[in-house]
Amino acid sequence: MAKSKDNSSSKSDSKNSDSPKASAKKSSPNKDGSSGKADTGKHPIKQDSTRETIESIVVAFVLAFLFRGFEAEAFVIPTGSMAPTLYGRHKESDCKQCGYHILIGASDEINDETGYFSSNKRIETAICPNCRFENDVRNAPVFKGDRILVNKFPYEFRDPERWDVPVFKYPEKPTTNYIKRLVGLPNETLVIKRGNVYRIEEDRTRSVLRKPPSRQKAIQIPVFDNNFQATALHEKGWPKRWAAVERVAGDVAVANRKDQLGLKPVAGWTEAAGSWGEDAASGSFSIEKARSTGESLKWLRYRHIIPTSDDWAAASDGPLRPSDHEYFFDDAESLGPRPQLITDFCGYNTYTGGNGTTTDDAYWVADLTLTCDVEITEAGEQSEVVVELNEGVRCYRCRIDASNGSAKLVSVDRYSGSGENEVVLAEAQTELSGTGEWELRYANVDNRICLWIDDDLVEFGDGANYVEDESQTPSPQDEDLIPVGIAVRNASAKVSNLLIERDIYYRASQISNDDADRFTWSGDDEHPEPYALRRALHDPKEWYELYSKRARGANNIPEARFELGPDEFMMLGDNSPRSQDSRVWPNSRGAEHRHAVPRSALVGRAFYIYWPHGIPFMNGGEGFPVTYHKEITPGGVKSTDYPDFRVPFYPNFSRMHRIR
């Protein structure tokens, strides 16, 4: 089916509608599980082969149409509204500096009206989400969107479930299919606030809507993978994000700041020598049992230190001033590299060309996940592994007794005057005991703490769910500049494959219900001055003062409210900054709830990516061009020098999976 037209305002052309196109290929197995192939055994009577062929074709078409109507249908995703769950038309490349594999939305290159390539919209460069280096991707291979299977059967016999990924008829244009994530159910009132979705209960309290742990884990967005280092920056003295740290008293100055790039203490933490040792080649850290004994924990912590394009230019071209390293400092303040708050940065959207780069990642994201491998080679009595995630005035800590595998979730309220007093939330048993190696995954998402050991969810029960205390300040704190930590006590251990991810941050965007005939974003996003917020990310206090000036919600936090009637649903895109979803739909149809999808518009539930795209190989991994993009010119439709399809290729098996 055709993609939707872009009825957007001047700002909305950077948003994605993601109307999936029906594929020419339909899929549905027989109900008995058979392949549907004809019997190849010999028969005693010779049959008319021509007639048999015609009959087989007719039967095949009849079965195809029957299954298309009642079982499954294949669709192609054209845009990136649901990235990273589903990819639309996109490019792929490896970062030239850190080697991280980056994906870049490229649907802007195709004109919605004509379906042809537009040379003035060609994607030129893209920012690596891991090290923030700007890569030249002009000639990177481009791929069509994911091919998915949609089950058209389930909603006939059961109600849609929250967090499903349904295909539905776009209310403003029922001939067009859209695909989003279902977040709102009939007769609910929803509030989007600080990236989360809440439901207003009958007693007017708010309940956060939590994603099931398995689904939560599947849709996390990368923040930093320590296996891919910004080596060129570090060779110039740029500090690494992970470091061994210790608590210090006061703002201890760093000596000879003109000769080194050490950070000032961050929230009372400063780099420490003599505990953890780093293997720079593998990105791992190790500590010996003798160095981890004592009352105090030996911490590794993550500092969200983001280089700018100027920093990368300086590292590439050499010093801009006579004194080496000095070019990393601000002339006026000599602050040097500084950590900042983690934001809703999305590398899929950050490029030049197309409809312009999206660099308005100004919103603090506190819902984080740490994944790493922990190897214990020697464990003493009361040996311990501790992981910690900060969120504003509280931190959430998990203590695992490595001698017996018992785990304890605790919270620490650092701003109530109680010091480091821990409040126990829940306890459970884990497999992390004695010596060995385990994958550890620790998450604070949707006001719930989750721990996985070797991909098995540890059952903490209801104690792992917590309720935000509205009486406390909701602002970020200095601890959020250094938000993730891992420590070991009385054991010899190695920590490797450190990965930090974040949850989807749903922006609190909302428009008037009587907005008649166009998508509207300008002035109606979560905050009217995202670039001012970005400049304040190094200072949590200043950031919150700017953020809270737009007071249209509780505690001066921006929020958006949506009401749903009987048999109405609300849909949001996973790529929240660039999704033309329920928040911003026009209302030329005059609906009571502009943002609602009626039950009658539901087509089915997306359940499987059966063909992401082929991965080219040979010729430096780019294959050889076979066909090229075509463009409409004053002289007619002409071929360009921009490859459209490359060979040879092999299937991208890693992304053929169930959609969560």
Residue 458 makes CB contacts below 8 A (sequence gap 6+) with 407, 428, 429, 430, 450, 451, 452
Which two structure tokens, joined as six digits, stand for 326?
């000095």
| pLDDT attached to residue 319 | 46
Neighbours of 638 (CB within 10 A): 12
The kind and range of the H/E element at 309 are helix 309-317
Per 3-state DSSP, the chain is made up of helix, strand and coil in percentages (nearest 5) of: 15, 35, 50
Of the options 3.40.50.150, 3.90.550.10, 2.60.120.560, 1.10.10.1150, the CATH number for the domain spanning 224-338+357-501: 2.60.120.560
| pLDDT attached to residue 57 | 65
Q: How far is the C-alpha of 593 from the C-alpha of 591, rounded, in Å?
A: 5
Rg of the chain taking only CA atoms, in angstroms = 27
The answer to whether 123 touches 353, Cβ cutoff 8 Å, is yes
| pLDDT attached to residue 555 | 56
**Strand (E) positions, 460-576?**
484-502, 559-563, 568-572
In one letter, which amino acid is 500? I
Q: How far is the C-alpha of 179 from the C-alpha of 256, rounded, in Å?
A: 56
Residue 644 makes CB contacts below 8 A (sequence gap 6+) with 142, 625, 627, 628, 629
Q: Are strands 649-651 and 368-391 parallel, antiparallel or unpaired?
A: unpaired
The answer to whether 652 touches 630, Cβ cutoff 8 Å, is no
Grouping H, G, I as helix, E, B as strand and the rest as coil, residue 33 is: coil
Tally of residues, the chain: 660
In one letter, which amino acid is 424? V
What is the residue whose two structure tokens read 């080596």?
231
In one letter, which amino acid is 382? Q
Q: State the 10-residue block means of pLDDT for the chain, 660 residues long.
A: 35 58 49 35 40 58 53 89 96 96 96 92 96 95 95 88 97 95 98 96 95 94 97 89 85 42 78 90 93 86 92 69 42 65 95 76 96 95 94 95 96 73 95 97 98 97 88 83 96 97 94 64 69 92 88 67 97 94 91 95 95 94 94 94 95 94
The answer to whether 213 touches 457, Cβ cutoff 8 Å, is yes
Domain ranges, ordered by start, for the chain: 224-338+357-501
pTM of the model: 0.87
The answer to whether 341 touches 539, Cβ cutoff 8 Å, is no
The answer to whether 596 touches 565, Cβ cutoff 8 Å, is yes
343: exposed, middle or buried (Cβ count in 10 Å: 0-12, 13-18, 19+): buried
Which candidate, 416, 373, 410, places its Cα nearest to that of 392?
Answer: 416
CB < 8 Å & 24+ apart, contacts of 31-36 = 36/63
Residue 406 makes CB contacts below 8 A (sequence gap 6+) with 400, 427, 428, 429, 430
Q: How far is the C-alpha of 654 from the C-alpha of 659, rounded, in Å?
A: 13
334: exposed, middle or buried (Cβ count in 10 Å: 0-12, 13-18, 19+): exposed
In one letter, which amino acid is 370? L
| pLDDT attached to residue 31 | 35
Q: In what order do the strands lie in the sheet with 166-169?
A: 21-22, 72-76, 147-151, 602-611, 166-169, 177-179
In one letter, which amino acid is 590? G
The full DSSP string for 229-240 is --HHHHHTTPPP
Q: How far is the C-alpha of 338 from the C-alpha of 570, rounded, in Å?
A: 40
Which two structure tokens, joined as six digits, stand for 454?
């070797």
The answer to whether 584 touches 15, Cβ cutoff 8 Å, is yes
| pLDDT attached to residue 249 | 67
Which two structure tokens, joined as six digits, stand for 559?
């929020």
Which two structure tokens, joined as six digits, stand for 13?
């052309």
Task: Note the helical H segments in 430-539.
Answer: 530-535
Q: How far is the C-alpha of 81 from the C-alpha of 48, rounded, in Å?
A: 52
- Distances 52 to 34, 35, 40, 211 between C-alpha atoms, Å: 21, 19, 13, 52
Residue 186: alpha-carbon gap to chain centroid: 27
Q: Are strands 125-127 and 134-136 parallel, antiparallel or unpaired?
A: antiparallel
In one letter, which amino acid is 470? E
| pLDDT attached to residue 58 | 62
- Distances 653 to 140, 275, 386, 470, 611 between C-alpha atoms, Å: 21, 42, 36, 46, 8
Give bridge partners of residue 650 from the DSSP assignment. Answer: 615
Grouping H, G, I as helix, E, B as strand and the rest as coil, residue 126 is: strand
Give bridge partners of residue 409 from the DSSP assignment. Answer: 398, 426
309: left (phi over 0), alpha (psi -120 to 50) or beta: alpha
| Helices first, then strands: H and E counts in the chain | 6, 37
Q: In what order do the strands lie in the sheet with 351-352?
A: 134-136, 125-127, 351-352
In one letter, which amino acid is 183? V
| pLDDT attached to residue 144 | 94
Which two structure tokens, joined as six digits, stand for 29?
């197995």
Q: Are strands 142-143 and 147-151 parallel, antiparallel or unpaired?
A: unpaired
Q: How far is the C-alpha of 593 from the C-alpha of 141, rounded, in Å?
A: 42
